[in-house]
Structure 1
Amino acid sequence: MGLSKPKIVDFAPLIDRVEGRLSSLTTFLNYGQILTMVNSILSSLPTYYMSTIKLPKKVIMHIDRARRHCLWRKTAEVSAKTHSLAAWDMVCKPKNKGGLGIINLEFQNCALLLKHLDKFFNKQDIPGVKLIWTNYYPDASLPPHACKEMGSFWWKDIIRLIPLFRAIAQITPHGEDSALFWKDDWHGTDPCFAEQFKVLFSYAAKEDISIFGFMNDQNLTNQFYLPISPQALQEWNTLQNLIAHVSLNNEDDHWGYKWSHPGFQSKQVYSLFYDHLSVDLPLTFIWKSKCTLKLKVFLYGF
């Protein structure tokens, strides 16, 4: 990885490796064996790249073409047209949600890159994390996601994932200015205060104030545009009761997550992309059955 953003041609070795795995022998495999090959080999080849940088959509398109060709093809020629038995978006869904469980590379790329934000916001003792905080965010009065984009092409791609990261994060504030008072989920009351107290938030003078900055100055004159409405005043009293027990110290904030397992897990993030889909009970029964994978894929297509 250089100082400039990689071009499409720079990913040619990756695309060639994926297409090079399309052996003519796969034409003699059944759909169950081909599905295993797509998931275990072709989908795993870009993992190292996706853990480091955001892949361009055109690169993902080329890799998906090779994976789709491997799954449905009838000839050994990569350029030959194939007749897909199901839409690609559909087969990329999890098996219990109506798909074949093939990894969606765009979603997987985002899930893998979020680990960099986990290290960054938790201020892990890593040289790269220290370098970013020191060079890009020397002023600790504003959280990083309240500042304008800055830094290298790599870091800009990472910080554009902050809205997704904040949606899955649960912050425990201690005293650092790494989280927003109004817009981040830090009090354990979902949704955030900006959504919970909409009328009061409409009077806020500093919408992007940090938790530390608000807790140290709760003067109505400094925090809101006066006068405020009676409903806003009622919400202010409710908000004060909620944050009355909050105490801050000089330790780093802790960014946890809304799932039950401790620590960041890319697998959990990936599953959230399909969390809104309902479970397909007949297909769940098929995939959990003890018949061979060949028959399971056949029943899926049937």
Structure 2
Amino acid sequence: MFFCKSNEKSCKALKEILRMYEDASGKMISCQKSAITFSKKTSQETKRKAMRILHIHQEGGTGKYLGLPEAFERKKKDLFSSVVDKIRQQAISWSSKLLSSAGKLVLLKSVLSSMPTYSMSCFKLPISLCKRIQSVLTRFWWDANPDKKKMCWIAWHKLTRGKREGGLGIRDIQDFTDAMLGKLSWRILTKPSCLLARILKGKYFPDQSFLECKTSEGGSHGWKGIVIGRNLLKEKIGKVIGNGATTKIWEDPWISTKEPKSGGSISCQESSKI
């Protein structure tokens, strides 16, 4: 997957890059199996010119990439509905088989709970969607027949507890999606030179640090999810002072217990650095 502008210069540069790849690897890129996805505001003339330069005549945007639609809409509920349907279909296909409780638990923990992992690592799933996924998992665990409902004798939140706490160790969908977003935010925080961090910084917080930036209404679903993960990190991380050159003593969490409070009349400007 390549990203570039749809003007003549960018298309020719991309074509040259692909040609160099073919010469170096000995592999040919199939234009018949390739597609170009344009933005909504791209004119028809620009589309035709780009397709002619790249020799790609198929327009994309309606397919799926890693289980998610290529073109995202604003409503996340509609965007991730296919994820729930996929989990439900897989669960129904197994419900007709005679499975022991141990077999069901293995499938539930290793397969069904892992199916939305990619979606959860990129986006904050709505609570309503998490409840729908939980409902599918609950029914698979308790129901031997998908056409009949069965009593759930133990609450789901008890099943998601660790085995030492009396549960089965099944993933809680809401907690797991928060953990995945926190992991992605930690990568951006600790590796600011990686490609993802540099792209996000250039678009969303060019003049701020990652911990201080705020989300905007026009931000993408992915960025809003990253900010949620960042906020979870801020509650637990602390500042290593070092030489104190970059430490703000009244703002940075460098004390492990609580935020410091000034006991005198020193101005914040004079005492902002150690």
Q: Distance in 2 between matches of 1:177 and 1:135?
A: 27
Which secondary structure state, in structure 1, belongs to the residue aligned with residue 239 of structure 2?
A: strand
Q: Decide whether the 8 Å contact of 1:26 with 1:70 is kept in 2.
A: no
Distance 1:199 1:172, change over 3 A: closer
Q: Which residue of 2 aligns with 1:93?
A: 161
Q: Which residue of 2 aligns with 1:33?
A: 103
Moved more, 144-153 or 90-99: 144-153
Distance 1:41 1:205, change over 3 A: farther
Distance 1:36 1:183, change over 3 A: farther
The reply on whether 1:46 has 2:96 as its aligned counterpart is: no
Which secondary structure state, in structure 2, belongs to the residue aligned with residue 172 of structure 1?
A: coil
| Residues 32-66 of structure 1 deviation map (CA, whole Å, 9 limit, x = unaligned) | 22111111111011111111111111221111111
Q: Distance in 1 between matches of 2:253 and 2:138?
A: 40
Q: Decide whether the 8 Å contact of 1:171 with 1:185 is kept in 2.
A: yes
Counterpart residue type for residue 200 of structure 1: G
Q: Which residue of 2 aligns with 1:166?
A: 234
Distance 1:3 1:31, change over 3 A: closer
Q: Decide whether the 8 Å contact of 2:124 with 2:225 is kept in 1.
A: yes
Q: Distance in 2 between matches of 1:179 and 1:43?
A: 41
| Residues 68-125 of structure 1 deviation map (CA, whole Å, 9 limit, x = unaligned) | 0011013122xx4221120011101111122111100111111111122112222432
Identity %: 24
Of 84, 87, 97, the match for 1:15 = 84
Kindly report which structure 2 residues correspond to 1:188-203, keeping only aligned pairs within 5 A, or say none: 189-192=255-258, 194=259, 197-198=260-261, 200=263
Q: Decide whether the 8 Å contact of 2:159 with 2:167 is kept in 1.
A: yes
TM-score, with normalisation over the residues of structure 1? 0.57
Kindly report which structure 2 residues correspond to 1:1-302, keeping only aligned pairs within 5 A, or say none: 2=71, 4-22=73-91, 23=93, 25=95, 28-77=98-147, 80-140=148-208, 143-150=209-216, 151-173=219-241, 181-186=249-254, 189-192=255-258, 194=259, 197-198=260-261, 200=263, 219=270
Q: Distance in 2 between matches of 1:177 and 1:104?
A: 41
Q: How many residues align?
A: 202
TM-score, with normalisation over the residues of structure 2? 0.63
| Residues 166-214 of structure 1 deviation map (CA, whole Å, 9 limit, x = unaligned) | 233243356999875434433xx4124x2xx44539x7865xxxxxxxx
Q: CA deviation at 1:26?
A: 5.3
Q: CA deviation at 1:136?
A: 2.4
State the superposition RMSD in angstroms: 3.1
RCO (CA 8 Å, sep 6+): is it higher in 1 or 2?
1
Q: Distance in 2 between matches of 1:52 and 1:93?
A: 25
Q: Distance in 2 between matches of 1:85 and 1:133?
A: 49
Q: Decide whether the 8 Å contact of 1:27 with 1:75 is kept in 2.
A: no
Q: Distance in 1 between matches of 2:113 and 2:246?
A: 35
Q: Decide whether the 8 Å contact of 1:94 with 1:101 is kept in 2.
A: yes
Distance 1:139 1:26, change over 3 A: same
Q: Distance in 1 between matches of 2:157 and 2:185?
A: 28
Q: Distance in 2 between matches of 1:31 and 1:108?
A: 23
Q: Decide whether the 8 Å contact of 1:92 with 1:102 is kept in 2.
A: yes
Q: Decide whether the 8 Å contact of 2:124 with 2:177 is kept in 1.
A: yes
Q: Distance in 2 between matches of 1:180 and 1:199?
A: 13
Counterpart residue type for residue 14 of structure 1: V
Distance 1:166 1:66, change over 3 A: same
Distance 1:27 1:177, change over 3 A: farther
Counterpart residue type for residue 201 of structure 2: W
Distance 1:26 1:101, change over 3 A: farther
